[in-house]
């Protein structure tokens, strides 16, 4: 591939830092001065604020989105002998957590328009061993969660939401009543990986829940099963949320709504500018807010378009090029090519365009111009 100087970056995680550098440094300095690096005040404050933002009773901070998923499964009592249904079109952390909990990963295909789990496929995958479903709000799209929640209620299944990409995603269940992603099931799991809508300066994560038992058990497990300093009720982990990361998150939470609005504005610009081309856009099925973590287009000549854009200095991403059932990590499960045809088609035809809140509108116009040029416009 010919290398051209980058004109449009796919993401710029430092742009958010530069918008609030003095406040960020002051927030970190407060932790340094207090010296409460482990389970310090900022962890407690962030948990309180994030629970309120999401409209959940409890938030338990932890070390990453992956450990949030692991804790959610363990705290809910999922383990060996259980089956957990999820999507093959996600980052592997979702299914890894199921395996690490000792349960069996069962994949179900996705909906072509929303790119999220297809409720009919989930229903068809249920067996007597099914205990839970992990619904992923892919790219920040909550579409399908109401149907999956209903299905889980009907079948007595536990619903865990992977909201790693869905900070700021809401569904308007009733007029003027927005409900945040992660509050439809028993537990919502978040990642604060730096590139996320709400990103830390390293790894961080959290769960939200209205179930006090789950919150208590997760809190215990993430800190060595402690009840007291050297009194351990169970074997746990060191999955604690770092205090410096919590201080950064507490500050950044204040601008989350604004940054999701900016993301949505850029996506409107893309959708209007790209109208009429042979492309598909991820569909939002409800009244509500798509968190727009990524802007993925469906395009048959995906690889050629990616190459063309790269030659014009435009960075893009592919989320995700290999669906999980075809990953070498699952070769022992002997899934077949063609088993989840929609996920496979999406993996072969999806391209994520540059997107971050500070992306200048003229750069978006440049991307639009080049995509149109690719199609001979
Ligand atoms: C859908 C999804 N689930 C889980 C994770 C894992 O989060 P983390 O990287 O914080 O462990 C990610 C993030 O990369 C993700 O995108």
pLDDT, averaged across the chain: 97
Neighbours of 220 (CB within 10 A): 19
Mean pLDDT across 37-63:
98
- At 1 the pLDDT is 55
Rounded distance from Cα 13 to ligand 1 centre (Å): 16
Rounded distance from Cα 221 to ligand 1 centre (Å): 20
Which of 92, 98, 193 maximizes ligand 1 atoms within 8 Å of its Cβ, making it the mutation to test the pocket?
193
Ligand 1: list residues with CB < 6 Å. 64-66, 90-91, 93-94, 136, 162, 164-165, 191, 193, 203, 205
Rounded distance from Cα 231 to ligand 1 centre (Å): 32
Rounded distance from Cα 106 to ligand 1 centre (Å): 19
Cβ 43 vs Cβ 200: under 8 Å: no
Give Cα 216 to chain centroid, integer Å: 24
- At 2 the pLDDT is 58
Mean pLDDT across 264-276:
98
- The CA angle 145-90-245, to the nearest 5 degrees, is 90
Token pair for residue 75?
Answer: 């705290």
Which of 188, 191, 319, 343 maximizes ligand 1 atoms within 8 Å of its Cβ, making it the mutation to test the pocket?
191
Does position 262 have pLDDT exceeding 80, yes or no?
A: yes
Please name the residues in contact with 130: beta carbons below 8 A apart, sequence gap of 6 or more. 82, 83, 84, 85, 106, 155, 157
Rounded distance from Cα 125 to ligand 1 centre (Å): 24
Which atom of ligand 1 lies nearest, measured to the CA of 66? Answer: 11
- Residue 92: pLDDT band (50, 70, 90) is very high
Neighbours of 22 (CB within 10 A): 7
What gap in Å lies between CA 196 and CA 357, rounded to an integer? Answer: 11
Does position 93 have pLDDT exceeding 90, yes or no?
A: yes
What gap in Å lies between CA 203 and CA 194, rounded to an integer? Answer: 7
Ordered by where they begin, the domains of the chain are 15-253 (3.40.640.10), 256-374 (3.90.1150.10)
- At 274 the pLDDT is 98
Cis peptide before 163 (omega within 30 of 0): no
Which atom of ligand 1 lies nearest, measured to the CA of 67? Answer: 11
Q: Is 212 exposed, middle or buried (0-12, 13-18, 19+ CB in 10 A)?
A: exposed
- Residue 176: pLDDT band (50, 70, 90) is confident
Which atom of ligand 1 lies nearest, measured to the CA of 90? Answer: 1
Neighbours of 80 (CB within 10 A): 8
Q: What is the DSSP letter of 317?
A: B
Give Cα 184 to chain centroid, integer Å: 15
What gap in Å lies between CA 140 and CA 159, rounded to an integer? Answer: 18
Does position 139 have pLDDT exceeding 90, yes or no?
A: yes
- At 175 the pLDDT is 80
Which atom of ligand 1 lies nearest, measured to the CA of 138? Answer: 1
Which of 62, 64, 65, 317 maximizes ligand 1 atoms within 8 Å of its Cβ, making it the mutation to test the pocket?
65
Cβ 215 vs Cβ 236: under 8 Å: no
- Residue 3: pLDDT band (50, 70, 90) is low
What gap in Å lies between CA 119 and CA 133, rounded to an integer? Answer: 11
What is the β-pairing status of strands 205-209 and 58-62?
antiparallel
- At 377 the pLDDT is 87
- Residue 173: pLDDT band (50, 70, 90) is confident
Cβ 317 vs Cβ 352: under 8 Å: yes
Mean pLDDT across 137-153:
98
pLDDT in tens, 210-252: 999 999 999 999 999 999 999 999 999 999 999 999 999 999 9
């Amino acid at each position: 591939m010919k290398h051209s100087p980058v004109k449009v970056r796919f993401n710029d995680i430092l742009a958010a830092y530069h918008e609030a550098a003095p406040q960020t440094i002051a927030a970190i300095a407060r932790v340094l001065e207090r010296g409460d690096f482990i389970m310090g005040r900022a962890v407690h404050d962030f948990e309180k604020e994030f629970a309120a933002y999401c409209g959940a009773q409890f938030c338990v901070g932890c070390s990453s989105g992956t450990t949030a998923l692991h804790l959610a499964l363990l705290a809910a009592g999922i383990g060996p002998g259980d089956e957990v249904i999820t999507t093959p079109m996600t980052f592997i952390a979702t299914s890894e957590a199921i395996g690490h909990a000792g349960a069996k990963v069962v994949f179900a295909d996705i909906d072509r328009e929303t790119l999220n789990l297809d409720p009919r496929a989930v229903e068809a995958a249920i067996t007597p061993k099914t205990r839970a479903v992990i619904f992923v709000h892919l790219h920040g799209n909550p579409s399908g969660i109401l149907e999956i929640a209903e299905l889980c209620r009907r079948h007595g299944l536990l619903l865990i939401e992977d909201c790693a990409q869905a900070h700021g995603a809401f569904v308007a269940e009733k007029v003027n009543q927005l409900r945040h992603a992660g509050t439809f099931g028993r537990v919502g799991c978040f990642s604060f990986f730096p590139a996320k809508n709400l990103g830390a300066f390293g790894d961080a994560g959290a769960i939200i829940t209205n179930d006090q038992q789950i919150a208590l058990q997760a809190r215990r497990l993430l800190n060595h099963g402690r009840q007291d300093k050297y009194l351990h009720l169970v074997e746990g982990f060191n999955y604690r949320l770092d205090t410096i990361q919590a201080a950064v998150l507490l500050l950044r939470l204040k601008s989350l709504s604004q940054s999701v609005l900016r993301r949505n504005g850029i996506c409107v610009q893309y959708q209007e500018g790209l109208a009429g081309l042979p492309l598909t856009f991820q569909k939002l099925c409800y009244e509500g807010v798509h968190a727009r973590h990524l802007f993925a287009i469906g395009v048959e000549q995906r690889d050629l378009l990616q190459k063309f854009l790269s030659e014009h200095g435009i960075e893009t991403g592919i989320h995700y090029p290999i669906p999980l059932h075809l990953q070498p990590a699952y070769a022992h499960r002997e899934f077949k090519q063609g088993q989840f045809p929609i996920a496979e088609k999406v993996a072969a035809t999806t391209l994520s365009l540059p997107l971050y809140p500070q992306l200048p509108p003229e750069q978006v116009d440049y991307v639009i111009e080049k995509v149109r040029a690719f199609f001979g416009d």
